[in-house]
């Protein structure tokens, strides 16, 4: 898995930060990727990455504030021009369908693919499984309806124990592949070989949690439980908790506390107020590091690998 930070600023674009957009490239062999939020100019930022709109499989909108949404109509339209013909799923809070239908209706936009819009009405739970990864949503505490998303990769089969297969008289070939995929196979003499008997311990799937805007709340910890990577907003510096909560946001220290409480393995902070310049990120990162490590203050177009342990 790879994750790109297409915009790391809050509220409006700045000289060095675009507004929110995060791309998650799914594990091989799917080659698909998902987008979380699409602030203004998100598709411009995508042009500076290797990601192709034709490979975009789903978009997840955390909430309907403009800095997370205004780039969506143009991006969906451009996908047709980039050869996107496969269906696209769009998830987000109630009102998302009305927004997209209104913009496309007024502008006369026609898409060359099916767009399936799913509005989230339940407070939490699994919302989709594409066979490789599944995604859950949970309500956060912001000024309007807002969600966080938890992406969980399926468990990976363990390594084939070749010496055991050789002892059973099985040579390399198609049956190896079936066993690797977790299937049982039968030999010509009727002997049944179970995958679990000839493979090592299965590898747990990776977990990535991407939150929308939020002040501290129980669902933050629930969505981030044991995550390999937690992406948490840190709109304000430590000591500005009162102001942060007034606007439904969190501070660097609160992002770190959430990561620690959830037992996350890595924290990336984003959604920084425009009051902070690029030179301030070192200080913001250091504030969080006093309570949780490893932590990174994201910058635009930063890409991270989410590796298996």
The response to whether 82 counts as a known ligand-binding position is: no
The response to whether 142 counts as a known ligand-binding position is: yes
The response to whether 68 counts as a known ligand-binding position is: yes
Strand bridging mode 88-92 / 56-60: parallel
Taking the C-alpha atoms of residue 153 and residue 145, their distance in angstroms, rounded to an integer, is 27
Q: Which of 28, 37, 67, 197 is catalytic?
A: 67
CA 288 to chain centre: 21
The response to whether 67 counts as a known ligand-binding position is: yes
The response to whether 116 counts as a known ligand-binding position is: no
CA 113 to chain centre: 23
The response to whether 245 counts as a known ligand-binding position is: no
Which token pair is 222?
Answer: 């629930």
Taking the C-alpha atoms of residue 135 and residue 129, their distance in angstroms, rounded to an integer, is 6
Residue 5 backbone dihedrals phi, psi, to 5 degrees: -100, 105
The response to whether 228 counts as a known ligand-binding position is: no
Which token pair is 238?
Answer: 């430590």
Whether 28 sits among the annotated catalytic residues: the reply is no
Residue 24 backbone dihedrals phi, psi, to 5 degrees: -120, 115
List residues forming the annotated binding site for Zn(2+).
63, 65, 67-68, 142, 213, 271
Catalytic residues: 67
List residues forming the annotated binding site.
63, 65, 67-68, 142, 213, 271
């Amino acid at each position: 898995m790879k994750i790109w930070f297409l915009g790391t600023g809050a509220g409006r674009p700045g000289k060095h930060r675009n507004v929110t957009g995060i791309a998650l490239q799914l594990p091989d062999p799917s080659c698909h990727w998902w987008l979380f939020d699409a602030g203004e100019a998100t598709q411009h930022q995508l042009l500076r990455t290797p990601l192709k709109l034709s490979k975009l499989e789903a978009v997840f909108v955390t909430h309907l504030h403009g800095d997370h949404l205004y780039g969506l109509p143009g991006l969906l339209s451009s996908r047709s021009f980039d050869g996107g013909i496969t269906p696209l799923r769009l998830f987000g809070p109630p009102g998302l369908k009305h927004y997209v239908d209104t913009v496309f209706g007024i502008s006369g936009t026609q898409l060359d693919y099916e767009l399936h819009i799913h509005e989230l009405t339940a407070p939490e739970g699994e919302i989709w499984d594409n066979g490789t990864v599944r995604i859950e949503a949970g309500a956060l505490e912001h000024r309007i309806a807002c969600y966080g998303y938890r992406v969980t990769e399926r468990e990976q089969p363990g390594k084939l124990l070749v010496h055991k297969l050789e002892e059973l008289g099985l040579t390399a070939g198609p049956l190896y592949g079936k066993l690797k995929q977790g299937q049982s196979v039968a030999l010509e003499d009727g002997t049944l070989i179970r995958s679990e008997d000839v493979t090592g311990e299965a590898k747990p799937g990776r977990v990535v949690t991407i939150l929308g805007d939020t002040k501290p709340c129980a669902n933050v910890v629930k969505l981030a439980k044991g995550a390999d990577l937690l992406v948490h907003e840190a709109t304000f510096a430590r000591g500005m908790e009162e102001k942060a909560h007034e606007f439904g946001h969190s501070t660097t220290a609160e992002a770190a506390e959430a990561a620690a409480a959830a037992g996350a393995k890595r924290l990336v902070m984003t959604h920084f107020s425009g009051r902070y310049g690029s030179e301030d990120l070192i200080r913001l990162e250091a504030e969080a590091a006093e309570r949780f490590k490893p932590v990174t203050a994201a910058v635009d177009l930063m890409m991270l690998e989410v590796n298996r342990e």
